[in-house]
Amino acid sequence: MTDANALLLALAIPTVTMFLIAASGSRPNIRDGISVAASVATFAVVLRLLESVMDGARPSVTLIEVMPGLVINFAIEPLGMLFATVASGLWIVTAIYSIGYMRGAHEKKQTRFYICFALAIASALAIAFSGNLFTLFIFYEVLTISTYPLVAHKETPEARSGARVYLGILMTTSILFLLVAVIWTWNIAGTMEFRAGGILEGKIDPAYAPFLLAFFAFGIGKAALMPFHRWLPAAMVAPTPVSALLHAVAVVKAGVFTMLKVGTYIFGVGFLSKTGASDWLMWIAAASILIASIVALTKDDLKARLAYSTVSQLSYITLGMALANQMGVIGGSMHIVTHAVGKITLFMCAGAIYVAAHKTKVSELDGLGRKMPVTFICFTIAALSIIGLPPFAGAWSKWYLLLAAADEGQMALIAVLMLSSLLNVAYLLSISGRAFFAPARDRMAHSLDAAAAPSKGIEEAPLFCLIPICLTALGCVVVFFAVGGLYEYLLSIPILPEAAP
C-alpha cells in the first residue's frame, strides 16, 4: 500500500463506516461493534502513515478540481499528522466509552448519533490532511454541519437553542470572516497551498497583514478565541461523548490546528515576527486565557466549567502561534496533544458521574469521590496535567510555551501563563477536593432517586465507561515520559521556507 493510498484509506474508513452504521441501525450490538472496529482500523492506518511521515515521506493526493485552479488536495506534513494521530487515537477510547454512556443514559436515536460521529471524525481527518486552504475550509464547514445534529441530539428546547448558538456562531465567523480571508489570500497570493515559510511574504502589504490575520483569527471560530467563544459552552448540551471527543479534541483542535497551519504555512513564522502582524493577537489570546479561567471559576455546572477551561486552554495554542517563533509552534502543537488527553479524561469523568450518580453540578459532588474512587482519581490526574504539574503531560507544553514567551522577552505573558495555572488549580482541584474530602450532603434534599437507592460502598459507572477513562489518564502520564520523541518530531515542522533546489 502506497502512502497516498493509505491517506485515502484513512479518510475512507470513517466515511464508509457511516453507511455501515446506517445499514445496521436495527441491531445495536453490530452497529456499536462496527463503530469500534472502524476506529481501530482508522488508527492503524494513521499509525502506518505516521511511520512514513517520520521517515520523511510527504504523501500528497489531488482528488478533484472544483473550480479552475482550486483543487481538493490532501497532503501530509508533520503538524497535520500529529492532529490526525490524536483525533483518530482518541476516537477509539471514545467509541468504547460511547457504548457505555449512550446505553447507560438511555439516549434515543443512537444510530443517527453514530453516523454523525463517524462523519465528524472523517472531516476532522480531512482537515488534518488538507493540502491547501481551500480544502481545509471545505471540511471545516462539513465538520460544523456534521456536529450540529450531535449537539441538538436530545431535541429538547435547551438542546435546540444550544445547537442554534453553536451553529450560529460557527457559521457566522466562518462565512463572514474565514471565507473572506480565504478568498482574499487566493486573490493576492494566487495559490492556497500550505507551503513551508508561508505564501504571503512579498505578496501582501505588511500594513494589511494584521487585518488579514484578524479575519483568520476571528474567522476560525472553532478556536474559541474571545469574543467568539460562546458556542463552546452552548455545545455542552450534547451527550458527553460528543463533548469529550469533539468539544475537547476534534472540533476545537481543528480550530487551533487551523490557526497553527495558517500561522506557519500561510503567513510564515518569519513573516509574522518580522512584521509584528501577530502582536495584537498575543494580547487577545492572553486576555482570553485569563477571562475564560475566571469565568470557569464561577460555573457550577461541571461541563460548563470544563468548557470554559477549554476556551482558556485553546488560547494557549493561539498564543503559541502568535508568538511567532519555533518554540511557540512546538509548544502550541504539543499542547494540542497534552490538552487533548487531559480534557477528554475530564469530560469522560463528567459523563461517568452523570451516568452513575446523575449529578451534573459541582456543588452536588460532595463526598462522591469515596463512592467513585477510580473516576475521581483519573479526574485528579487529568486535572493536574491540565494545570501543568509534572509528572503529567501538560507540564511540557506549558514549559515550551513559557520558553517561547521568554524568547520574545514578554515577561507579561509569562506572568499570564503562571497566573492561569493558579486559576486552573482553583477551578479544577476544588472539584477533586470536594469529592474526596467534603462530607456527603444530605441526600434527601437533592434527589429522590439517590435516596431510594440503598447506600453501597462503590457505585462506579459501567466498565465501558471506566476503562477508557483509565486509559486516557494513563496517557497523561505516558506522554510526559515520551516527550523527548514528541519534541524531536515537532522539530521537523518546517518553519523556514525551503531552500530553492
| C-alpha distance from residue 306 to each of 34, 340, 382, 383 (Å) | 30, 13, 12, 10
Nearest to 253 by CA among 21, 86, 459, 481: 86
Nearer to other proteins, 74 or 376 (CB): 74
Q: Rounded to whole angstroms, how far apart are CA atoms 417 and 469?
A: 27
Q: How far is the CB of 65 from other proteins (least distance, A)?
A: 6
Burial, 389: exposed, middle or buried (Cβ in 10 Å; 0-12, 13-18, 19+)? middle
Beta strands in 10-128 (DSSP E): 60-67, 70-75
Does the CA dihedral 167-172-175-177 come out positive or negative? negative
Q: Rounded to whole angstroms, how far apart are CA atoms 501 and 272?
A: 25
Nearer to other proteins, 92 or 125 (CB): 125
Q: How far is the CB of 249 from other proteins (least distance, A)?
A: 23
End-to-end CA distance of the chain: 29
Residues that bind other proteins (CB under 8 A): 64-68, 137-138, 141-142, 145, 149, 152, 155, 159-160, 163-164, 167-168, 171-172, 175-176, 179-180, 183-184, 186-187
Calculated CA dihedral for residues 444, 450, 456, 462, nearest 10 degrees: -160
Nearer to other proteins, 141 or 407 (CB): 141
| C-alpha distance from residue 115 to each of 18, 21, 162, 207, 294 (Å) | 5, 6, 21, 46, 37
DSSP 362: G
Q: Rounded to whole angstroms, how far apart are CA atoms 122 and 347?
A: 22
Nearer to other proteins, 207 or 500 (CB): 207
Nearer to other proteins, 13 or 192 (CB): 192
Helix (H, G, I), strand (E, B) or coil at 21: helix
Nearer to other proteins, 170 or 285 (CB): 170
Nearest to 136 by CA among 189, 94, 186: 186
Q: How far is the CB of 159 from other proteins (least distance, A)?
A: 8
Q: How far is the CB of 166 from other proteins (least distance, A)?
A: 11
Nearer to other proteins, 183 or 474 (CB): 183
Q: What DSSP string runs through 418-430?
A: HHHHHHHIIIIIH
Nearer to other proteins, 50 or 143 (CB): 143
Nearer to other proteins, 127 or 368 (CB): 127
Helix (H, G, I), strand (E, B) or coil at 60: strand
Q: Contact, 420 vs 387, CB < 8 A?
A: no
Nearer to other proteins, 209 or 428 (CB): 209
Nearer to other proteins, 149 or 468 (CB): 149
Q: How far is the CB of 473 from other proteins (least distance, A)?
A: 36
Q: How far is the CB of 174 from other proteins (least distance, A)?
A: 10
Q: How far is the CB of 1 from other proteins (least distance, A)?
A: 26
Nearer to other proteins, 204 or 395 (CB): 204
Q: How far is the CB of 117 from other proteins (least distance, A)?
A: 17
Q: How far is the CB of 62 from other proteins (least distance, A)?
A: 13
Nearer to other proteins, 166 or 396 (CB): 166
Grid cell, residue 30, equals: 453490530
Q: Which long-range contacts (CB under 8 A, 24 or more apart) does 433-440 make?
A: 434/362, 434/365, 434/366, 434/369, 435/365, 435/366, 435/367, 435/368, 435/369, 435/372, 435/376, 435/379, 436/369, 436/370, 436/376, 437/369, 438/366, 438/367, 439/366, 439/367, 440/366, 440/367, 440/368, 440/370
Q: Rounded to whole angstroms, how far apart are CA atoms 167 and 44?
A: 32
DSSP 86: H
What are the phi and psi torsion angles at 455 (to 5°)? -75, 120
Nearest to 276 by CA among 328, 319, 327, 324: 324
Q: How far is the CB of 218 from other proteins (least distance, A)?
A: 12
Q: How far is the CB of 142 from other proteins (least distance, A)?
A: 7
Q: How far is the CB of 35 from other proteins (least distance, A)?
A: 22
Question: 412: how many CB neighbours lie within 10 A of its CB?
Answer: 10
Q: How far is the CB of 498 from other proteins (least distance, A)?
A: 29
